[in-house]
Amino acid sequence: MTTALYSPERLTRVRDAVRAEGLDVLLLTPGADLRYVTGYDAKQLERLTCLTVPASGDPFLLVPALELKAAQVSPAADLGIEMVPWGETTDPFAIIAERLAASASPPRTIALADRMWALHVLQFAAAFPDAAQALASTILSPLRMRKTPAEVAALLEAGQAIDRVHARVPDWLRPGRTEREVGAQIAEAIIAEGHVTVDFTIVGSGPNAASPHHEVSDRVIKTGDVVVVDIGGTMPSGYCSDCTRVYALGTPPEEFTAYYDVLRRAQEEATVSVRPGVTAESVDAAARNVIADAGYGEWFIHRTGHGIGLESHEDPYIVEGNLIPLAPGMAFSIEPGIYPGPHGARIEDIVVCTDTGYQRLNNAPRDLVVV
């Protein structure tokens, strides 16, 4: 799995993209972009770790000396990248500047990791005072959006793991327990089912179900409550899960059942609309039109979905105005929601655009689960 996910060909494609964009060098500090290119899940520190990919010349990975061994046992070691350690009294930014100057003329345009700390952005600005700065996503987003078969397999593994957690949720939802107590058990299960980190645990009961990013509180769950459970984590591969299901403790209110049926249909309509060539915004419209036509449009207050991969939120975003055509390998959530106030609901699956249509990566039942 590791070799298939982080192959030398990926680094070659990235360097080709740097040249094609007319940039002089790509600089990636720890984060999803660095892991995407090298497989190295580096620590984000005040000490600089930076993959340098020049348009001409060989890439190299600058690492603090105390992190060298970690880099050497990461997938980056299989890519043939030179690893350049630096000591505590050395200026790492000067090392990069000197190596680039030795191999070519000083760079005029440098692309920086989108989530690079300002601490490092400003130091790179000082090291290259005459260079314009650009975002690394200009180069990497088109590549990261289209998942390889190995990446889809990793996302499927993540989806199956989070489905197993949802299958256990009814055992923990009982009147008299708090959201926080239920959330703690869910978090333990996320790890037990194969994730290495818990990225988020949303347990929204009663009126808290109408707050899409509520997470947990000390509210006591009661009979008659509707509970939105939105959970996700990161697998050893680095790829993420994200899935939302809705549970009811006993018979839910009639008005809730009416709009849950609409939501169920909207999520299905959006999913079956996925195929190569349709726009991201058309998938959003497929869900939104069903909800609006049923009279609940004002309570669908967020986009229909987000891309997923090494980050739980990445391109492409399934939202009005995004005219990007879907292509095979694009993976994203489809998660319409209706939040009228006394309660709320959201149904979320991860879906991959295939050559002919779509593949769901979450297959836990989407019907309301009555506990």
* Predicted local confidence at residue 106, as pLDDT: 84
**pLDDT (tens digit, 9 = 90+) per residue, 200-222?**
999 999 999 999 999 999 999 99
Distance CA(343)–CA(368), nearest Å, equals 14
| Contacts of residue 166, Cβ cutoff 8 Å, sequence gap at least 6 | 229, 231, 243, 245, 364
Other beta carbons less than 10 A from residue 300's beta carbon: 22
Domain range annotation of the chain: 2-143, 149-370
Q: How far is CA 63 from CA 85, 107, 212, 275, 317, in A?
A: 5, 21, 40, 42, 33
Other beta carbons less than 10 A from residue 363's beta carbon: 12
For residue 207, the surrounding DSSP H or E stretch is none
Task: Identify the CATH number of the domain defined by range 2-143.
Answer: 3.40.350.10
* Predicted local confidence at residue 155, as pLDDT: 98
* Predicted local confidence at residue 352, as pLDDT: 98
Distance CA(195)–CA(276), nearest Å, equals 31
Beta-sheet pairing, 331-334 with 25-28: unpaired
Peptide bond into 212 cis (omega under 30): no
Task: Identify the CATH number of the domain defined by range 149-370.
Answer: 3.90.230.10
Paired residues of 51 in beta bridges: 28, 61
Q: How far is CA 12 from CA 18, 143, 259, 319, in A?
A: 10, 12, 50, 32
Q: What angle do CA 89, 95, 100 make, to 5 degrees?
A: 175
* Predicted local confidence at residue 2, as pLDDT: 61
Below-50 pLDDT ranges, the chain: none
| Contacts of residue 16, Cβ cutoff 8 Å, sequence gap at least 6 | none
Q: Answer yes or no: pTM beyond 0.85.
A: yes
